[in-house]
C-alpha cells in the first residue's frame, strides 16, 4: 500500500516510493529505496523535502492517509481554486498558433546565441533580446495558450534553450493575469528569458548527464544563478528586476533553496513568481534523466509544495492563469473519449473546450470534434473530465489536434 506521509514521520526500515519533489531538489541517486539509517532520514529533511510516499508492502508502516485518500482531498481543494474567474483570450487559439510557432523558433535561436556569447565571455546584447520579449508579450496578450502550449514540445537537445523561452512566456502570462503594469511585465519577461544564462558555464557533460549527479556536479549546477547574475550585470541595460530573477529563482520560502537560502518575503515577489514558473516548466518536460509529468499533475504538485516552498496564494493564482487543465493537456472524458484542452472557460476551469479525437474504450481514433464542457446536452457539451492522461501511455500526440479543420 502506498501512503503519503510527513517527512518527520520517517524512520529507518521504511521504503521510499517517491520523494515528491523535483529531481534537482534531492540529493539521492534514486527516488525509490529502503531507508537504512537515521542519517538518510536527516538527509531528506535537510533537503527541504516535507512529504514523501512510502510503500508499506516493502517496508515499515505508519498511520497516514493512502495516496488515493490524499489525492482525493487535494482534488477537492483544486476544485475550489477553479471557481475563480479568469481573463478570456483576445483571439482564438488557431489564429495565434502560426505566429506563436515563429516566436518559439526565433526565441530559441536567440537564447542559443546568448548562451554562446556568455560562454565566450562576451557581454549580452540586450538590444537584441528586448524586441523578442516584446513579441512574446504581445503573443501572450492575444492568446496565452498558443505560445505556452507550443513551448511544452521540447527535445532533450533543445531543452535548455526552450526552457528559458517557456519561463519567459509563462512569467509574462502570470504577470499579465495579475494586472501588473506593462513595463514591469516586460522586465519580468526579460528576466525569465535570461534566468538560466549561468548554465552557459556548466559543462555539457553535466547538463546532459542521463544519471544522477555527484555531489561535486550538483554543486556546479547550483552555481548557475550566481554565474548568470555576474554575467548579466556586465551589461548596463539589464535591469535590477532581471538580475533579481536570475539570482534568486531557486530560492524557497522555507529557506531550503539556493544560492542564499532566503526565506519568506526576503525573496522578491517576481523571484517568487519565477520560481513557481521555473519548476512547473521543468517538471513537465522530458529531460535526459526523467520523463516529464502532465501539466495538470504538475500544477497539483506545485499546490502541494506551496505549503512549504512557494507562496500558496501565488501558486493558486498561477493555476488559474494557466488553467487547472492547461491548453495542450490530454484529458479523458466521462464518455470514454480522449481530447486535448484548447481553451479554458472564463468562470469554470474544470469545464474547458476540448478537441476530442480518440476512443479510450475502443482504443481507436475517432472523428475529431470540439466539445464545450460548459454547455449542456444538445449544445455541444454534456460531458465532463474524469482524469488527465499521459499521452505516451496512449501513444497519441494531442498537440496534433489543437486545431481542427
> Any idea where the domains of the chain sit in the sequence?
2-64, 93-322, 330-401
Q: What is the pLDDT, as a whole number, of residue 21?
A: 72
**Cell output for 95:** 489564429
Count Cβ atoms within 10 A of the Cβ of residue 356 and give its class: 0-12 exposed, 13-18 middle, 19 or more buried: buried
Q: What is the mean pLDDT of each run of 10 residues along the chain (405 residues)?
A: 90 88 64 87 85 90 89 83 75 91 96 94 90 96 93 83 96 96 96 96 87 84 96 93 98 94 95 97 82 88 91 94 91 95 85 94 94 71 85 91 82
Q: What is the pLDDT, as a whole number, of residue 404?
A: 79
**What single DSSP character describes residue 253?**
T
Q: What is the pLDDT, as a whole number, of residue 168?
A: 97
- The architecture in CATH of the region 93-322 reads Orthogonal Bundle (1.10)
SS (H, E, C) 386-399: EEECCHHHHCCCHH
**Cell output for 278:** 521555473
Q: What is the pLDDT, as a whole number, of residue 103?
A: 96
Q: What is the pLDDT, as a whole number, of residue 376?
A: 64
**Cell output for 185:** 511585465
**Cell output for 231:** 554575467
Q: What is the pLDDT, as a whole number, of residue 26?
A: 62
Within 8 A by CB and 6+ apart from 244, the residues are: 191, 268, 270, 271
Q: What is the pLDDT, as a whole number, of residue 397?
A: 92
Please tell me the pTM assigned to this model.
0.89
Q: What is the pLDDT, as a whole number, of residue 405?
A: 61
Q: What is the pLDDT, as a whole number, of residue 57?
A: 92
Half-sphere exposure of 137 (CA within 13 A, CB side): 22
Amino acid at each position: 500500500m502506498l501512503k503519503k506521509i510527513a517527512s518527520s514521520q520517517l524512520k529507518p526500515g521504511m521504503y521510499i516510493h517517491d520523494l515528491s519533489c523535483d529531481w534537482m531538489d534531492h540529493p539521492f541517486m534514486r527516488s525509490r529505496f529502503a531507508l537504512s539509517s537515521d542519517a538518510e532520514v536527516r538527509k531528506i529533511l535537510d533537503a527541504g523535502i516535507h512529504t514523501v510516499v512510502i510503500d508499506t508492502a516493502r517496508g515499515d508502516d505508519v498511520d497516514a492517509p493512502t495516496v488515493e485518500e490524499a489525492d482525493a482531498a487535494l482534488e477537492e481543494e483544486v476544485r475550489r481554486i477553479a471557481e475563480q474567474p479568469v481573463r478570456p483570450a483576445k483571439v482564438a487559439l488557431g489564429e495565434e498558433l502560426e505566429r506563436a510557432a515563429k516566436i518559439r523558433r526565433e526565441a530559441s535561436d536567440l537564447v542559443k546565441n546568448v548562451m554562446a556569447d556568455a560562454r565566450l565571455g562576451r557581454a549580452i546584447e540586450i538590444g537584441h533580446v528586448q524586441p523578442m520579449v516584446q513579441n512574446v508579450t504581445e503573443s501572450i496578450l492575444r492568446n496565452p495558450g498558443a505560445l505556452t502550449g507550443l513551448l511544452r514540445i521540447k527535445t532533450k537537445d533543445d531543452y535548455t534553450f526552450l526552457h528559458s523561452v517557456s519561463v519567459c512566456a509563462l512569467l509574462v502570462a502570470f504577470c499579465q493575469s495579475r494586472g501588473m503594469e506593462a513595463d514591469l511585465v516586460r522586465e519580468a519577461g526579460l528576466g525569465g528569458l535570461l534566468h538560466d544564462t549561468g548554465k552557459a558555464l556548466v559543462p555539457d557533460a553535466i547538463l546532459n548527464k542521463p544519471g544522477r549527479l555527484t555531489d561535486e556536479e550538483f554543486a556546479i549546477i547550483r552555481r548557475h544563478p550566481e554565474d548568470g547574475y555576474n554575467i548579466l550585470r556586465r551589461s548596463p541595460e539589464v535591469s535590477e528586476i532581471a538580475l533579481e530573477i536570475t539570482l534568486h529563482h531557486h530560492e524557497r520560502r522555507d529557506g531550503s533553496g539556493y544560492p542564499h537560502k532566503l526565506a519568506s518575503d526576503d525573496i522578491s515577489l517576481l523571484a517568487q513568481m519565477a520560481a513557481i514558473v521555473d519548476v512547473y516548466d521543468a517538471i513537465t518536460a522530458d529531460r535526459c534523466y526523467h520523463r516529464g509529468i502532465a501539466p495538470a499533475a504538475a500544477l497539483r504538485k506545485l499546490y502541494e509544495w506551496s505549503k512549504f516552498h512557494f507562496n500558496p496564494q501565488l501558486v493558486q493564482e498561477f493555476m488559474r492563469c494557466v488553467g487547472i487543465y492547461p491548453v495542450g493537456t490530454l484529458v479523458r472524458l466521462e464518455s470514454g473519449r480522449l481530447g486535448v484542452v484548447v481553451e479554458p472557460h472564463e468562470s469554470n476551469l474544470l469545464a474547458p473546450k476540448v478537441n476530442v479525437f480518440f476512443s479510450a474504450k475502443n482504443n481507436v481514433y475517432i472523428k475529431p470534434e470540439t466539445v464545450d464542457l460548459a454547455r449542456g446536452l444538445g449544445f455541444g457539451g454534456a460531458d465532463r473530465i474524469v482524469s488527465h492522461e499521459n499521452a505516451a501511455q496512449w501513444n497519441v500526440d494531442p498537440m496534433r489536434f489543437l486545431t481542427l479543420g
